[in-house]
Amino acid sequence: MSARLLVAYLLLIGCAGTQSTLDPGGDQAGALFSLFALTMWVCGAIYTVVAAGLGWALWQAWRRRGVDARGDGDVTHRTDRRLTRLLPFVAGTIVLGLTVLITASFFADRALFATRAAPALEVRVTGHQWWWRVEYRDPASGGWIETANELHLPQGQTVRLALGAADVIHSFWVPNVAGKLDMIPGRTNLLDITARRAGWYRGQCAEFCGMQHAHMALAVKVEPPAAFRAWLAAQAAPAGAAAGRGAMVFATACAACHAIRGTGAGGRAGPDLTHVAGRRTLAAGTLTMTRGNLQGWITQPQAIKPGTSMPAVPLTPADADAVAGYLAGLQ
């Protein structure tokens, strides 16, 4: 009830958003939001008591002005005895409040990390400086279907994310869906998430990972299971037959780092581009996906995202145009 009131209030002041802990769209974020609301009430009550106590103290002192209590007067001794009797109540109240919070935190934590027997889907998310490699376990073949910088989740189903890192430490955080979990080189962290509300959300790397930490966002789409299955099947398919100048330029200038399944391009250093034009954003949330942005990104990556591993490949304007046109066709 109180949580709902809080939500209503926050919606009123515009706190609902696609990257907000206050607008949960999944089980894990929902549990954490309830815990947050409870903690807010307890801490708010404690603060009120302290502030009232300080106000009362100042008022008492104001009434007693004119009396100098320096030295060990009898008055001080008597009041001290009374105050000393209050100490156990103060300590007891704090311990009580903390016990409530520790217990609530403990059970919330249990719920978040309870092992679920068979998740509907396994997804491997790997952090790179500064993008996300995302791989889905193909339910049909058992192989991995690779994409990048965009995570699709079937609504209402539990997905197991295997989080890892290829270079430095990153942290996976989609606040509307779940709390963060670090992605650490040499380790794999498992995170079960259950998204409930369909729509687009935004995640962002939450552990400083170098120069472009700010431009490491992840677009997250929660969609009905049927739509998700259709999307995944489309992702599994290789790119359509490549022909023309764009594909040729790509094969010589880009294929060392980028893969496009169904063509000879098989580079692993950068994101897989098999269906790049179907994604919502470009360069890990730096740009929206348009043909113009694609071409701008290809010609001037260092101006758009200084420090990115994507080099400015020297292409003639005509070649750049051809490659952008080719990529824009990879739906």
Partner 1 sequence: MTPDIDRRDRLSLTWRDPPGWWGFLTTVDHKRIAARYIVTALLLLFLAGMLALDMRWQLSWAENRRMGPQLYNESFSLHGSTMLFLVSVPAMEAMALWLVPLMLGQRNMAFPRLGAFSYWLYLGGVLTLWVAHALDITPDLGWFEYPPLSGPNYAPGHRADIWAQMITFTEVAALCASVNVAATILKMRPPGMTLARMPVFLWAMLVASLMTILSMPAIMLVTSMLIADRLVSTHFFAPAAHGDVLLFQHLFWFFGHPEVYIIFIPATGFVSSIVETFARRRLFGHHVLVLAILAIGCLAFGLWVHHMFAVGLPRLGNDFYTAASMAIAVPAGLQIFCWVATIATGRPWLATPMLWVLGFVVTFVLGGLSGVMTASAALDLQLTDSYFVVAHFHYVLVGGAMFPLFGAFCYWYPKATGRLMSERWGRIAFFLIVGGFNLGFAPMHLLGLLGMPRRVYTYPAGMGWEGLNRVATLGSAIAMTGGLVFVTNALLSYWRGARAGADPWGSSTLEWAGESPSPPWNLPYTPVVDSLTPLWNAPVLRVMDGIAVERREVLVTSVVDAAPLYRQKSASPSIWPFVAALAVTAMFLGSIFTPWAIVAGALPIAAALTGWFWPQRARATTGPLRVRS
Residue 138 or residue 167: which is nearer to partner 1 going by CB?
A: 167
Q: Where is 163: in which H helix or E strand?
A: strand 158-165
Distance CA 205, CA 171 (A): 5
**Among 1, 12, 87, 117, interactor with partner 1 by CB under 8 A:** 87
Q: Does 20 bind partner 1 (CB under 8 A)?
A: yes
Q: Does 207 bind partner 1 (CB under 8 A)?
A: yes
Q: Does 51 bind partner 1 (CB under 8 A)?
A: yes
Q: Does 179 bind partner 1 (CB under 8 A)?
A: yes
**Among 27, 119, 129, 148, interactor with partner 1 by CB under 8 A:** 129
Residues touching partner 1: how many (CB under 8 A)? 89
Nearest C-alpha neighbor of 146 from the set 128, 132, 159, 166: 132
Between the alpha carbon of residue 128 and those of residues 95, 163, 171, 257, the distances in Å are: 44, 11, 11, 13
Q: Which two tokens stand for residue 82?
A: 């009374």
Q: Which two tokens stand for residue 253?
A: 């200038």
**Among 50, 226, 256, 318, interactor with partner 1 by CB under 8 A:** 50
Cβ atoms of residues 248 and 234 within 8 Å: no
Count Cβ atoms below 10 Å from residue 263 Cβ, excluding itself.
19
Count Cβ atoms below 10 Å from residue 52 Cβ, excluding itself.
10
Distance CA 111, CA 95 (A): 24
Distance CA 243, CA 154 (A): 34
Residue 115 or residue 141: which is nearer to partner 1 going by CB?
A: 115
Nearest C-alpha neighbor of 283 from the set 305, 258, 250: 305
Q: Does 158 bind partner 1 (CB under 8 A)?
A: no
Interface with partner 1 by CB under 8 A: which range of 20-28, 252-260, 292-300, 309-317?
20-28
Q: Does 161 bind partner 1 (CB under 8 A)?
A: no
Interface with partner 1 by CB under 8 A: which range of 146-154, 202-210, 245-253, 291-299?
202-210
Q: Does 293 bind partner 1 (CB under 8 A)?
A: no
In whole angstroms, the minimum distance from the beta carbon of 164 to partner 1 comes to 11
DSSP structure class, residue 271? -
Q: Does 244 bind partner 1 (CB under 8 A)?
A: no
Task: Give every CB contact of residue 218 below 8 A, 6+ residues apart in sequence.
Answer: 132, 149, 150, 151, 172, 174, 202, 203, 204, 205, 284, 285
Strand, coil or helix: 154: strand
Q: Does 105 bind partner 1 (CB under 8 A)?
A: yes
Residue 213 or residue 245: which is nearer to partner 1 going by CB?
A: 213
Q: Does 35 bind partner 1 (CB under 8 A)?
A: yes
Residue 138 or residue 182: which is nearer to partner 1 going by CB?
A: 182
In whole angstroms, the minimum distance from the beta carbon of 207 to partner 1 comes to 6
Interface with partner 1 by CB under 8 A: which range of 64-72, 140-148, 294-302, 316-324?
64-72
Q: Does 213 bind partner 1 (CB under 8 A)?
A: yes
Q: Does 96 bind partner 1 (CB under 8 A)?
A: no
Residue 210 or residue 238: which is nearer to partner 1 going by CB?
A: 210
